[in-house]
Amino acid sequence: MALGGIVRGKRTTLRTPTEDDLPAYSRWMADMRVRRVAPVWHQPAMPATWKERLKEQAKEQRAVLWSIEADGRLVGLARARVGGVESPPSAHLQHFIIDPDEWRKGYGWDAALALHRYFFDYLDLKRSGAELRTDNAAALRIAEKLGYVEFGRGHQVHYRDGGYVDESWVLMERTAWDERFGKTEREYVPFGTAR
């Protein structure tokens, strides 16, 4: 489960990462635009180091990693902790990065919608959570549109440009997903429901 399978959106596909993706991963982790809006998944490094990181990721039982493609091109990555002993079963989105050269093209929304359909429809999880920097307007818009609500806030968590930025802790319950997307984004009939 450590390397995600195929999850299709309307414009994007979340797929299992390959070694060919690793130079882009490293480039994104070095890009100051990415570092400004989100936590990075490991620091930039040589390709051999990233190969080791991918091997370690494949061993993790609950952390799932996808590469995000659009039009046959790599445009991002998503990494989440899924399932486990939490009650209720949940997902925690750890990294969701779109290549800065591909920002404002709708790939983030499409991939996020597909990913959450996977969480709630396929895995039948009951909630999803994330931490977002409060000046990351795009991530906050996507989270709000999906149905996330803020349940906590870390004050002055991130320092940059001579000042501090808060962090918003957001949560989405399965009921919010069902209310917003249960009729339009289902791939599977809910268990126990007549067809």
- pLDDT, tens only, 67-114: 999 999 999 999 999 876 667 889 999 999 999 999 999 999 999 999
Cα 124 from chain centre: 17
What is the pairing mode between strands 163-173 and 149-160? Answer: antiparallel
Query: Rounded to whole angstroms, how far apart are CA atoms 79 and 68?
Result: 11
Mean of pLDDT over the chain? 88
The amino acid that residue 16 corresponds to is T
Residue among 111, 122, 100 at smallest CA distance from 146: 111
Distance CA 134, CA 156 (A): 10
CB 76 within 8 A of CB 108: yes
**pLDDT tens profile 172-187:** 999 999 999 988 887 6
Full set of structural domains in the chain with CATH: 7-181 (3.40.630.30)
